[in-house]
Amino acid sequence: MPTTQLPNTASLRPDFIWGVSTSSFQIEGATQEDGRGLSVWDIYCRTGEIKNHDTGDVACDHYHRYREDVGLMKALGVQAYRFSVAWPRVLPLGRGSANEAGLSFYDRLTDELLAAGIEPWLCLYHWDLPQALEERGGWLNRESAVWFTDYASLIAARFGDRVKRVATFNEPSMFSLFSRSLGKRDSRSEDKLHRMIHNVNLAHGAAVDVLRANVINASIGCIHNRQPCRPSSASEADAAAAARLDVYWNAAFPDPQCRGEYPLSMRAAIEPHMQPSDLTRICRPLDWFGLNHYSPVYVKARADSMLGYDFGDKPASLPLTPIGWPIDPDAFSRTLQEVHARYGLPICVLENGYGDSGQPDQTGAVIDPGRIEFLKAYINAMNEAASSGVDVRGYFVWSLLDNFEWDSGYSIRFGLTYVDYASLRRTPKSSFGWYAGLIRGMQR
Ligand code: PNW
């Protein structure tokens, strides 16, 4: 691969961390095995709303093929791997007795990673809430903070000797804004949304305390996806809708967690759910800000929808990925600067990537120049932010493998590795070789 194909990384720290990310429900499969309980996503997959009626039952079969997958990471040369624990695998009912077989899967995975010299970054929650807890109100129940802390202490006690990097939540704004438990998302669901936001923030703060107390040398953060919300037209109504959504998407969680206050425009709506000292309990010291970033989001006004918005047209001038997400590396660089200025924490980019539906060619190779171009442009943008003083410590590609892309099922592929879902065979794409080359070139 010619070096002109590589991004400029001159402004990144010498100890910069290169990694890849995945999540439990999207790759593990084995949903009925070894005593795992049901998650809300197992239930959604039975509603028929997922593209092609796909389910997570087999996914990438990572539960059985984790050794091979750690081998892929070793070939990539990544220093770190971000994964999530499936809460219902270790606590089938969400609370109460732990499932030893589920815990021992994450033991095997952790030990395999450490033996390969790859640092495990563990995320406690990547959307697969135990269904038993959903039936008790899920995140709409203020008690969820207790359930989550008990789960966090189980994980801390079991893995804290080997796993130091822990994230509480992945993208709380996504799983709250798009939660099925809000019901039909119209203006009547707004009160539930505010309650959920506050409960998740409380769970975050309480879990940070438990992790801090039980994991020696813990390095703790929360993972937020900051995507600038922009109006899809010049109309005032669209501008107002975009500004409103921006607060919920980008500030509703990091502001109270890192600054101890809700954004001004949300305070009156949160107030009914607020109890004395809640903000102190939410705002606990963190070691880093986990940032997921893909693209800006274009928004239009829509009456009688939750928060009065809908997704709108993207400007014709912006190039799009094959799944229609705008390619705008400058927005990434600006996002990094905003996070740095607003929260002042070291930043770890824990997701960035490119979705397509690329298939092998006649020779069996998976050639994905679009993904390489995308990653190169975004890493250049990150380097630019670093050169202007942004403290960015790591970059993780979403994702190691093609996987279950939520409502889109297996139709959208984000992997550096192609997965044939019939044979479950893994084939590194050309972007895999490119990323490996980049990491190898950085080792000094
Ligand atoms: C993330 N957006 O979600 C999730 O953390 C992953 O599980 C997921 O597979 C990945 O992105 C790719 O979709 C997002 O609309 C969903 O900007 C939507 C957006 C961003 C992130």
Residue nearest to atom 13 of ligand 1 (CA): 405
User: How confident is the model over 1-42, as pLDDT tens digits?
Assistant: 555 689 999 999 999 999 999 999 999 999 999 999 999 999
pLDDT at 341: 98
Angle at alpha carbon of residue 289, lines to 388 and 209, rounded to 5°: 150
Q: How confident is the model at residue 405 (pLDDT cuts 50, 70, 90)?
A: very high
Q: Which residues have a Cβ under 8 Å from the Cβ of 201 and sit 6 or more positions away?
A: 172, 253, 256, 257, 282
DSSP character string of 196-228: HHHHHHHHHHHHHHHHHHHSTT-EEEEEEE---
398 pocket-lining for ligand 1 (C-beta < 6 Å): yes
Q: Which of 112, 171, 384, 405 is catalytic?
A: 171
> For the sheet containing 309-311, what is the strand order?
229-231, 297-301, 309-311
Q: How far is CA 210 from its chain centroid? A: 22
- Distance of CA 216 from the midpoint of ligand 1 (Å): 31
- 229, 249 in Cβ contact below 8 A? yes
Q: Is the pLDDT of residue 444 over 60?
A: no
* Cβ of 291 less than 6 Å from ligand 1: no
Name the token pair of 143.
């008690």
Give the span between the Cα atoms of 180 and 94, in whole angstroms: 19
- Please pick, among 134, 351, 384, 405, the residue that the annotation labels catalytic: 351
What the block records as the tokens of 404 is: 């279950």
Return the pLDDT at 3. 52
The Cα 5–Cα 398 span in angstroms is 20
Residues 6+ apart with CB under 8 A from 46: 55
Ligand 1 centroid to Cα of residue 413, in Å, is 12
Query: What is the pLDDT at residue 232?
Result: 98
Rounded distance, CA 248 to CA 83, Å?
A: 25
| pLDDT score at 2 | 56
ipTM score for this prediction = 0.95
pLDDT at res. 166:
99
Span 313-322, pLDDT tens digits: 999 999 999 9
Nearest-angstrom CA–CA distance, 328 and 315: 12
Upper half-sphere CA count for residue 139 (Cβ side, 13 Å): 29
Q: Is the pLDDT of residue 199 over 60?
A: yes
On the question of pLDDT at 131 being above 60, the answer is yes
pLDDT tens for each residue of 327-367: 999 999 999 999 999 999 999 999 999 999 999 999 999 99
Q: Residue 253: is it exposed, middle or buried by C-beta count within 10 angstroms (0-12/13-18/19+)?
A: buried
Please report the atom of ligand 1 found closest to the CA of residue 227. 17
Residue 398 Cα: closest atom of ligand 1: 10
Amino acid code (one letter) for 72: L
Cα of 213 to ligand 1 centre, how many Å? 31
End-to-end CA distance of the chain: 19
pLDDT of residue 138: 98
Q: Is the CB of 298 under 6 A from ligand 1?
A: no
Cα angle 41, 42, 45 (rounded to 5 degrees) comes to 80
Task: Give pLDDT, residue 442.
Answer: 82
The rounded distance, in Å, linking the Cα atoms of 148 and 124 is 9
Q: Is the pTM of this model over 0.90?
A: yes
Cα separation, 361 vs 140, in Å, equals 48
CB 412 within 8 A of CB 421: no
Q: HEC string of 61-100?
A: CHHHHHHHHHHHHHHHCCCEEEEECCHHHHCCCCCCCCCH
Q: ∠84-168-286 over CA atoms, to 5°?
A: 135
CA distance 88 to 31: 10
Q: What is the mean pLDDT of residues 120-145?
A: 98
Determine the pLDDT at residue 1.
Answer: 52
Question: What number of other Cβ atoms are within 10 A of residue 111's Cβ?
Answer: 13
The Cα–Cα gap between 199 and 350 comes to: 24
Rg (alpha carbons) of the chain, rounded to whole number: 21
Answer for the pair 427, 83: CB distance below 8 angstroms, yes or no. no
Ligand 1 lined by 414 (C-beta under 6 Å) = yes
The rounded mean pLDDT for the chain is 97
Q: Is 271 a catalytic residue?
A: no
Q: Is the CB of 402 under 6 A from ligand 1?
A: no
The H or E element containing residue 426 is strand 426-428
Q: What is the pLDDT of residues 62-88, one digit of tens each?
A: 999 999 999 999 999 999 999 999 999
* Whether residue 162 has pLDDT greater than 70: yes
Q: Please, where are the H alpha helices in 306-429?
A: 329-343, 369-387
Tell me the residue type at 360.
P
Task: For residue 143, indicate whether it is catalytic.
Answer: no
- As a whole number of angstroms, the distance between CA 312 and CA 24 comes to 31
Measured over all CA atoms, what is the biggest interatomic distance in the chain, rounded to whole angstroms? 64
Q: What is the mean pLDDT of residues 91-96?
A: 98
Q: Measuring CA to CA, which residue among 45, 126, 57 is closest to residue 85? A: 126
C-alpha torsion 173→214→64→291, nearest 10 = 30
